Amino acid sequence: MSYKQMKEENVRKILRLPVNFRKELNEAFGLFLSNPLQRYPNTEETPQIERDLFQNQIQSVNLKTILRALGYEPRRDELKKLLMYVDSSDQIDIFQFLLIMIKKMELPDTKEELLKAFRLFDKLDTGYIGIEEMKALSAECGYKFNDAEINQMIEEGDRDQDGLINEEEFLRVMKRGK
């Protein structure tokens, strides 16, 4: 695969991220730039700020802080691998950062990370995820699922058939999906 083909494939990967998630990643990246960033307009457009961020870079030492702010707990060896993935050691731009985030999402999660994700869904701390929690978090992440699609997701993971997903069921579904 040529460099141009690789770059085009990486751009396609980035464009497949939900717009709201890309906005969140752009804002997290922007916090570590020396120049303050403009705010996003309240539209569904592709984040325009990415074009401006291509000219700016952050220190790679800030990557760990950004990942932790986004809910990840990266280990030192994992950070090194992510930086090697984008061929960088001291500075990264927004394109490299978005590729790192895509790669991070592709890596298998630890049980601890999966339980943190479960707790994001289980906002009332009931120990279960129901249809309302799934709808709320899906919308927050920029996904538009209807009730039937969400019910189907719950049914696929609901082994005890109580209409809810508990921690054990969530872990089983997440590990199966990787």
Residue 54 confidence (pLDDT): 53
Q: Domain boundary residue among 106, 135, 152?
A: 106
Residue 13 confidence (pLDDT): 82
Residue 175 confidence (pLDDT): 73
Q: Domain boundary residue among 106, 123, 138?
A: 106
* Residue predicted with more confidence, 35 or 145: 145
Identity (one letter) of the amino acid at 65? T
* Residue predicted with more confidence, 167 or 4: 167
The whole-angstrom separation of Cα 53 and Cα 56 is 5
Shared domain for 42 and 98, answered yes or no, is yes
Instruction: Give me 148's structure tokens.
Output: 């039937």
137 — pLDDT class (breaks 50, 70, 90): confident
Shared domain for 130 and 166, answered yes or no, is yes
Shared domain for 124 and 64, answered yes or no, is no
User: Into how many domains does the chain fold?
Assistant: 2
Shared domain for 64 and 101, answered yes or no, is yes
Share of the chain above pLDDT 90, in %: 8
Shared domain for 58 and 143, answered yes or no, is no
Shared domain for 9 and 90, answered yes or no, is yes
Provide the 3-class DSSP secondary structure of residue 151.
Answer: helix
Strand partners, 129: 165
pLDDT tens-digit readout, 39-70: 444 445 544 545 555 567 888 888 888 888 77
pTM above 0.85, yes or no: no
The whole-angstrom separation of Cα 47 and Cα 176 is 32
Shared domain for 24 and 79, answered yes or no, is yes
Shared domain for 42 and 102, answered yes or no, is yes
Shared domain for 34 and 10, answered yes or no, is yes
The whole-angstrom separation of Cα 50 and Cα 52 is 5
User: Does the structure show a pLDDT above 90 at 166?
Assistant: yes
Q: Domain boundary residue among 68, 90, 106?
A: 106
The range of the structural domain enclosing residue 146 comes to 111-177
User: Does the structure show a pLDDT above 90 at 162?
Assistant: yes
pLDDT tens-digit readout, 93-131: 888 888 898 888 776 667 777 888 888 888 889 999 988
Shared domain for 29 and 87, answered yes or no, is yes
The whole-angstrom separation of Cα 163 and Cα 155 is 7
User: Does the structure show a pLDDT above 90 at 157?
Assistant: no
Identify the CATH number of the domain in which residue 137 sits: 1.10.238.10
